[in-house]
Amino acid sequence: MSDPQSTDPQPTDPQSPDSQESAQQPAGQPAAAAPAANSEYTDKDLQHLSDLEHVRERPGMYIGDTTGRGLHHLVYEVVDNSIDEAMAGFAKTVSVTVHTDGSVTVEDDGRGIPVTRHDQLSEELDREVSTLEGVMTVLKFGGKFEKGAYQTSGGLHGVGVTVVNFLSQWAEVEVSRDGSTWTQEYERGVPTGPIQKGRATKKSGTKTTFKPDNQIFSTTKYNFDTLAKRLQELAFLNSGVHIRFHDERNGEGGDFLYERGIIEFVEHLNRASDVLHSDVIVFTGSREGVEYEIAMQYSTEFTENVQSYVNNIHTIEGGTHVSGFRTALTRTLNNYGKKENLFKNTTPTGDDFREGLTTVISVRVPHPQFEGQTKTKLGNGEVDGIIAGGVGEQLTKYLEENPRVAKTIVRKGLLAAEAREAARKAKDLLRKRKDALGGGGLPGKLRDCISKKMEECEIYLVEGDSAGGSAEGGRMREYQAILPLRGKIINAYKSREDKVLANEEVQSMIQAIGTGIGADQDISKRRYNKVVIMTDADVDGSHIRTLLLCFFYRQMYHLVAGGHVFVAQPPLYRVQQGRNRYYVQTDEEMRTRLLERGLSDSVLESEDGRRAEGDTMRSLATTLASIEDAIVALERRGTSLKNHAVRLDPVTGKLPTFLLTAGNDEHWFGSQEDVDAFLSANNLVLDVEENEDDEEAEANSEGQGDGDGDAEPKEVTEIVNLAHLEEIHEVRTINSGLKDLQPVGFGLDDLIPVDRTGTTAPRFELLRGDEVRRPLDDLRALLPEIRSAGEKGLQLTRFKGLGEMNAEELRETTLDPENRTLIKVNLTDAGAADEMFRLLMGDKVEPRREFIEKHALDVRNLDV
């Protein structure tokens, strides 16, 4: 299940221009009509955007959205290029590093992007353009349109790394090939200079570093688990490829290397399950250029877990490769069961044969047809027949050679068929009970709403009768229904369908919601458009919420997939200003609101006459906010901004980003070219260089004195010293901010405190209105003062959870659509959801304990 998304409109700050404008609209009057379109449609109404402008103006067309999903997609695009090198047989290692400032480095040991002049681009643009610059700055330019450089690949549109560059605050690419390193830097997609040749090297590969632009993305903070999961997937799918992952923010990471590939993937998915056969069944083959590798294993679970991939791209909606496999599985198992006379009174269906099946399907298609750039479903019709034919033939052979496993699998399907029949009878009893009760067969404890318009009706599933009483007192009776649930419902993941249906609380929910369950579910018959889970924030409440989500996933899948299941999320803050009141969900949002409110009438004056107000003040504050965390990260390294400022390059106006350590000495440089010159002049070699000559010299020196008597000692004519080079990525973010400070009249010196001995006049003053004047030593103190000013006149109340709220507070914060936040439960990846439920709700304790130990410190707002 994907990241939660708020679906109700967010409350508006009464101080914001939008809320003031809406408040002026007379009650009951229609809103003013939008201005009419220009009646004269001329050539001036049309404009042509460059590639860069179009990507930054419409990023959703290229990466899906600008939320966390799109943010992580940037990393995937760059990593996919490195994996394509591995698929082509030219790379063995891929390294991914998340730096403290939020920038990301992806490095591989492939062939390296070509750096020579590209004739076609140079002629079209009428200037010298390297192939590297073309890859980074020109859309629809790449090596995957023909079969020359890559036979199969995940990136097919020639837009991946280009879009990453365009949506980054800054980016840098270092290519190692042809005996040298080559670098080029970019700011918001524009090269800052030509490609530069650097030091000599025997390595090859591409190293790309980028910082997502906070002008584009709503969040620029990467999720460790999201990245780790994807990188581990890629290691599973590409046996023998070593993927290194390191997150400098928390020191965590992992080395992923799987020699047995997707066999280990299936074993990993089944780590929390009891398997029915020890061996993972594998099918491999190729036809018409399509290569496939499929691994499967049955467990005692009651659900199917399919993970499907095309050219390493996770096809979460499946496609023809999945349908081909399912067709072959059902047909082959049915044929075997009939041949062995295993079917007596019941013949299993395809769903029955897939119960408890864990499958990984990986295919490589030369010209795949995907649904859009985000690639969620394969549409190539020929793949269906290729997979169905190949899997059917190999599975038939396997069943014949392994009769014990074959009979175990078929019996598993028979048990599923019998359980399906028992569940059908239980559903019939539910229907008969509903008819006998009359009045719709609604449970007696349901406090139903008055309205009969399904589209506006909501039902709250509330933990316990006491909480149900509070919700009953606070609800909008016209369209909100309350169903109290007593205790914890049955674990729908560990129990068969007939046992789940026998649970009294489950029966109450089924009767109240009205859609039916399982394969017979019809969401058009739902009595409520929104089903809202409302539990306390303590351990019991979290457990009940998980059990309910598990039930909906197992028995009311279409209700979840249709976007009708929500979780009530009480706000973190209530903000009171006179008679106006609004709610804030997170600490980050609170900081943003206070900053926005504090800016409304703030003016900055400096002792030398500079002044910032209005839009200039807002730009100044936005820029300072963009470098706030980077400065803190730099100082955590032990380098204060004041000490680092003396190293500012007066020509470029930038701080040095490279730290070279040789012995006990530290040297700072602003470019890789300067680093290389220093290394050469001082006979230094980087300790990360894989130099074969050095390895040979080391081996020879180790061999001297071994006493074999055959080798003559070699005279050492030259001593090579090692140096360590580190690129301080947060300095790049600071440099980008310094550039943005220039148009508003400020710079690096203004961020650093100075000795004011003997001076009484303040260096800076923050003015609010005609009376409030706050002295500031430097601009770093500006944001805290603005936020503090924004808090004046407000009463902030921090909530702990639903369990501490009375009926009035519950209505105000969680039931009232004007103020509440509902988190929609999205089912974007059924396989990932099933894996999580299997881990948390299954029988095995050890995997669950490992998960809890790993994520214990990530818990927030837990009331125990």
Residue 554, classed as helix, strand or coil, is: helix
Q: Name every residue whose Cβ is closer than 8 Å to that of residue 678 and which is 6 or more positions away in sequence.
A: 660, 667, 669, 684
Q: Name every residue whose Cβ is closer than 8 Å to that of residue 34 and which is 6 or more positions away in sequence.
A: none
- Residue 196 backbone dihedrals phi, psi, to 5 degrees: -115, 135
What is the distance between the alpha carbons of residues 370 and 662, in angstroms, rounded to a whole number?
51
Burial of 665 (0-12, 13-18, 19+ CB in 10 A): exposed
Name the residues annotated as catalytic: 463, 536, 538, 540
Our CA dihedral for 99, 104, 105, 110, rounded to 10 degrees, sits at 150
H or E element: which one contains 734?
helix 729-741
CA distances 816 to 9, 290, 474, Å, are 11, 55, 9
DSSP state of 130: B
Strand-pair category, 565-569 with 530-534: parallel
What is the distance between the alpha carbons of residues 637 and 108, in angstroms, rounded to a whole number?
27
The 8 Å CB, 24+ separation contacts for 661-666 are 661/723, 661/724, 661/725, 661/726, 662/721, 662/722, 662/723, 662/724, 663/721
The alpha carbon of 307 is separated from its chain's Cα centroid by a whole number of angstroms, namely: 18
Two tokens at 74? 């940037």
Give strand pairing partners of 672.
none
Strand order in the sheet with 5-6: 5-6, 821-824, 565-569, 530-534, 458-463, 480-485
DSSP state of 448: -
Identify whether the C-beta of residue 264 lies closer than 8 Å to the C-beta of residue 255.
Answer: no
CA angle, 843 as apex, 461 and 547 as ends, to 5°? 5
Identify whether the C-beta of residue 563 lies closer than 8 Å to the C-beta of residue 529.
Answer: no
DSSP state of 41: -
715 Ramachandran zone, left/alpha/beta (phi>0; psi -120 to 50):
beta
- Residue 77 backbone dihedrals phi, psi, to 5 degrees: -60, -45
Q: Look at residues 418, 450, 779 and name the one whose alpha carbon lies nearest to residue 621.
A: 779
